[in-house]
Amino acid sequence: MRGLLIIVLSAAAIAQSQVSSGQAASNQGRGAVTGISKAEIDTVAGKNPKAVVSDQQLRVVGINGEYNLGVAIVTRTKGAGSQIAGSLDHSEVAEIYHIISGSATLVTGGAMENPKAAAPDSSVVKLTGPSTGGGAIRNGTSRSVGPGDVLIIPPNTPHWFSEITSDMVYLVFRVDPHKVLPIALEMKR
């Protein structure tokens, strides 16, 4: 009986070591790391200081041939009425916003007024893939957003900043499982 116990424990130890070494191999990186410095983010964010909205793609990289991931810096200036950009929804790309500075009211969900597909050659489609633009959003959920907030906006979700309380700067991470965004380590600005 003691011999059987030693054999079972030895087999378990060998199996565990093989699993551990297999896990170590599978945890090895499969791609190159892409970095974006704070200096680059600050430089690009300051390029269009008077624009109502400036959306500048910093990078779009392919991730192991499985999906694309884009990173952009967006600035929005305080404005009201016709100065506020319209609502959008993107059919194939999810967006994650990380607010760096400024504050606003973000409306999500609901129904877009006057929805219209964005032209295939528009800057919106080049930055975010197939999209629909419109006016205000009715029956959406409003929330105040500010520095440090992170918002995850799934595809096909109308979103609109109904008010910019103070000039905003935020990073946008675009998750592109359908590979509609053009891959470029450095986008032309």
123-147 residue pLDDT tens: 999 999 999 999 999 999 999 999 9
Least confident of 36-50, 85-99, 129-143: 36-50
With CA atoms as reference, report the closest residue to 187 among 91, 107, 72.
Answer: 72
First to last CA, the chain: 74
Quote the pLDDT of residue 29.
64
Which residues is 185 bridged to in the sheet? none
Spatial separation of the C-alpha atoms in residues 171 and 71, rounded to whole Å: 7
Band of residue 83 on the pLDDT scale cut at 50, 70, 90 = low
Class of the CATH domain delimited by 31-176: mainly beta
Instruction: Tell me the domain boundaries of the chain.
Output: 1-30, 31-176
| Measured CA distances, 37 to 34, 40, 70 (Å) | 10, 5, 15
Enter the tokens of residue 107: 């409306």
pTM of the model: 0.81
